[in-house]
Amino acid sequence: MQRRALLLPLLLVATLGATPVLANEGKKEDKAVTYFQLDPINAVVLRRDGRRGVMTVETGLEVKDPTLMKRAQASTPRLRAAFAQTLMVYCAGLRGGAAPDIDHVSRELQKAADQVLGKPGSKVLLGSALIS
């Protein structure tokens, strides 16, 4: 009799603890991917002392339209090339030791993304920008 008294609460806890998991198994949440990250982009900059440095920018794209997202993912090499060219042109005109204008860089990268994808609808997001 004492065994039953001990096993009954344990059985109830195990059953009740598993119930929410079993109830959620029938529900399948299909969330569309709206963001993907690109590899960091590098460009040469002149540092204050006249030596060369490297500017590294981490970028990603947020695209809410599923068809445009597929196009963006398929165009990843073209996006990276356009972003690298945009960053290199910007860094070539940067004075030695001057702080970069990240707002300007993000606007230029957005223009490049819209041009590569053929239409607006994506949003370029910057993770970090570093000069070393």
- 117-130 pLDDT, tens digit per residue, is 999 999 999 999 99
Tell me, yes or no, if the pTM score tops 0.85.
no
Q: What are the pLDDT digits (tens) for 38-79?
A: 999 999 998 888 899 999 999 999 999 999 999 999 999 999
Establish if 3 belongs to a structural domain: no
Q: Which domain holds residue 64?
A: 35-131
- pLDDT for position 95: 86
CATH number at residue 62: 3.30.479
Unique residue bearing structure tokens 């960091």: 40
CA 45, distance to chain mean position in Å, is 25
- pLDDT for position 2: 57
Question: Judging by beta carbons within 10 Å of its beta carbon (0-12, 13-18, 19+), is residue 56 exposed, middle or buried?
Answer: middle
- pLDDT for position 96: 82
Residue 78 has φ and ψ, to the nearest 5°, of: -65, -40
Domain count, the chain: 1
Q: Which of 42, 44, 43, 50 is nearest to 96 (CA)?
A: 50
